[in-house]
Amino acid sequence: MRKPIIAGNWKMNKTAAECRELVTALVPKVKDAKCDVVICVPFTDIALAAELTKGSNIKVGAQNVAWADSGAFTGEISAAMLAEAGAEYVVIGHSERRQYFGETDKTVNARLTQALKYGLKPILCVGEKLEEREGGMTERVCATQVEGAFEGVSAADAEKVVIAYEPVWAIGTGKTATDEQADETIGYIRSVVEKLYGKNTADGMRIQYGGSMNAKNVDGLMAKPQVDGGLIGGASLKADDFAYIVMAAK
């Protein structure tokens, strides 16, 4: 049995003052959650979010991590900095990073390896673009991204990773994948993990769905056997909406 995990990805939203307001409202609303609850916040909110969630069941995550320990990498944040600030999770390879900031399977692999080295739990994002789905390339794209990300990663380390299947065409568009599409593609991703690491690792790996997941579609998605939770963008920015999704994940 895999424990579901619901993670909010705030993206570039919430100043520290707004973070305080949201987290303060969220803590009591999700205290009886049956799933793991994570909020992936902007770097500048991590220490505050960690302080505000202390003693609660909410874990804090970052949205990226540098691939080097330290040094001349202007604008990057190291794994040690994240861990010290209170992050336990880190989103890696989000499609917005791939699309706007030149992230490749190679850099995703380097960041993933680095996160694991420092004990951060990666949430690895994969997913196809609209033209790739329409061209029947979904499986090949997801397989390439998963294989690339896990290059050189041991089975013991791979087991610490959560994968988020996020079809790019469903992100921020209000166009969710159908329950069947999510279930089918996540099942396929699990088969790729099985080929890399064997059945036990694949069966234990949590694979979330992400892309316009909200209070209306969470029940249908979570009812699917392959869907182990969600990575939530827009709907994670309001305490009531995010709490509803969290409480629906059992």
Query: Which of these segments, 154-162, 186-194, 198-206, 228-236, binds ligand 13P (CB under 6 A)?
Result: 228-236
Least distance to ligand 13P, CB of residue 41, Å? 13
- Report whether 37 contacts 232 (CB < 8 A): no
Return all residues near 193 (Cβ < 8 A) that are at least 6 apart: 146, 150, 158, 163, 201, 202, 205
211 part of the interface to ligand 13P, by CB under 6 A: yes
CA–CA distance, 189 with 145 (Å, rounded to integer): 10
Q: What is the phi/psi pair of residue 233, to 5°?
A: -90, -100
Catalytic hit among 21, 88, 94, 180: 94
Least distance to ligand 13P, CB of residue 237, Å? 9
Query: Which of these segments, 29-37, 166-174, 201-209, 216-224, binds ligand 13P (CB under 6 A)?
Result: 166-174
> Which residue is at the shortest CB distance from ligand 13P?
233
Residue number, 86 or 230, with CB nearest to ligand 13P: 230
Residue 176, both tokens: 């969710």
Residue 139 bears catalytic tag: no
CA–CA distance, 169 with 154 (Å, rounded to integer): 32
Residue 94 bears catalytic tag: yes
41 part of the interface to ligand 13P, by CB under 6 A: no
DSSP string, 9-27: E--S---HHHHHHHHHHHH
Interface ranges with ligand 13P (CB under 6 A): 9, 94, 166, 171-172, 210-213, 231-235
